[in-house]
Amino acid sequence: MVHRYKSYIRGFDEELGGGIPEGHIILISGTPGTMKSSVAYNILYNNIKHEDSVGVYVSLEQSRENLLFQINSLGLQDVEELKLTILDMAKIRKEVDMTREKPWLDVLKRHLNYLKETLSFDLLVIDSLPVVEMISKVEDARAYLFYFFEWLRDLKVTTFIISEISTDPTKVYPEEFLTDGIILLTMERVNEVDVHRRIRCVKMRGVNHNTGYFTLEFKDDAFQASQAI
């Protein structure tokens, strides 16, 4: 039996048909401010607290302090330091020459290999994967991403990749085909003045999940999903 990770979003796990299968690469996508980072962190946090997982959170766009500011406001900070490593790649990204071909990806892989050996982590978040930047210089973008994902699979971890989506709904990106699952976060205007957060499982290979939209809220120290109205 494959182990399944819970999302720890109340009301949503039931709709995920038992959870996210171990070893999957999951895309968490959404426009700015849809709580992508918080949802991903929340999965790591709770699986560490309740399931004895070890997590690594790679923050490529936000400094560690900035991410922790958000995390603290949600009250999700009391976790054993050895069990959750936040790798702040912002500095490294500044140092590497972005015009040369993908050197930062090699830096990232080196770090992850080292952490795997020393911490033996099972959950990984990459926030966020600059797919456009990664593949713009590569002729066969899909193959390039494919090999990176294969590398992640060989690492024997379950990965959450955060991706920012444009507001153009007609665009489809290669990572959407290559990942095993997609969790979409949106903001919907529900009347003249109110905008609600929504969550939807677009795909999850090997899982009989609900494909509908749910309203997403953070209250009483936890994420909750309820029937969207």
Please state, as a whole number, how many other Cβ atoms lie within 10 Å of the Cβ of residue 65.
9
Nearer to ligand ATP, 60 or 201 (CB): 60
**Binding of ligand ATP by 38 (CB under 6 A):** yes
Cα separation, 172 vs 72, in Å, equals 34
Secondary structure of residue 68 in the 3-state scheme: helix
Token pair 């070890």 in the structure block, residue: 54
Cα separation, 60 vs 162, in Å, equals 10
Q: Which does 215 bind (CB under 5 to 8 A by kind): ligand ATP, Mg ion, none?
A: none
Residue 75 CB, shortest distance to ligand ATP, in Å, is: 7
**Binding of ligand ATP by 59 (CB under 6 A):** no
Site string for ligand ATP, 167-186 (x = CB under 6 A): --------------------
**Binding of ligand ATP by 73 (CB under 6 A):** yes
**Binding of Mg ion by 37 (CB under 5 A):** yes
Using CB atoms within 10 Å of the CB of residue 135, give its burial: 0 to 12 exposed, 13 to 18 middle, 19+ buried: buried
Q: Which of residues 210-229 bind ligand ATP (CB under 6 A)?
A: 218
* Largest distance between two CA atoms of the chain: 53
Q: Please give the residue ranges that form the binding site for ligand ATP (CB under 6 A).
A: 30, 32-38, 70, 73-74, 218
